[in-house]
Amino acid sequence: MTVSLPNTLKACVILAALAAAGPVAAQEGATGTSFVEEFDRLDKAVWYVSDGWNNGAHQNCTWSEKQVAVRDGKLVLSFDAAAGGDRSYACGEVQTRKRYGYGTYEVRMKSATGSGLNSAFFTYIGPTDKKPHDEIDFEVLGKDTTRVQVNQYVAGKGGNEKLVEVAGGADGGFNDYAFVWQKERLRYYVNGALVHEVTDPEKLPSNAQKIFLSLWGTDTLSDWMGRFSFAGPTTLEVERVAFTAEGDPCQFDGSVACLMN
């Protein structure tokens, strides 16, 4: 028997079915959903802590879980003189276990101080995950902490760097950095202000990515990050990280995602 439903009732049935099915991932492999992390603790079911290796000859420190801590409601990543592997310094990094797609990515952080260091909030996927190298970056380069560098990679191709002023300095206090990643554009924000927009399809990443927070140093990339000179332990501090999936409501006052609605 066929039952005919009024159009308004049909619409309600369709919406209910979509809601029951749950959100649709923006990209293949995007398993992460909206969240706000304020670091009351470090949940290792959510965050993977890099430990016991480095990313290559350009990096002068070994990732160490000893350089990752939560104190006073903040994630603290440290850089310090501590032997590990074939490196004389130790540094800290965390990354999400899940991958995230289109939406708003936000961090509130205070960068480390020191030439030759890199304080970074970024998303990444690559060959180790059996995917092309896609990446979206905020990086504070130790040679000049009055600015933050934004950049993105598509299939391993970068060269999209832009330096943006940070009032008071990125290491002078906590600042808010955000990017809104959509299929047809990418927008970067510093302290709530739009500072850069990308619409060229060839410069827009498309693969779902993990979220990273890291602090590391170099002896070799001095033109980019400054000549390395160790002056003692230093830290990158993070008060909050958030992801708001495209189409979801904003999750906290002042979120850039609130501007999208």
Distances in Å between the Cα of 91 and the Cα atoms of 33, 50, 84, 224 are 29, 9, 10, 19
How many other C-beta atoms lie within 10 A of the C-beta of residue 6? Answer: 8
38 is catalytic: no
Query: Do residues 42 and 91 lie in contact, with contact meaning Cβ atoms separated by under 8 Å?
Result: no
- State whether residue 180 is helix, strand or coil: strand
Distance between CA atoms of 121 and 136, rounded to whole angstroms? 9
The one-character DSSP state at 203 is G
184 is catalytic: no
- 37, 93, 135, 237: which is the annotated catalytic residue? 135
The residue with tokens 């850089």 is: 79
Query: Do residues 29 and 207 lie in contact, with contact meaning Cβ atoms separated by under 8 Å?
Result: yes
- 139, 161, 197, 246: which is the annotated catalytic residue? 139
Catalytically annotated residues: 135, 139
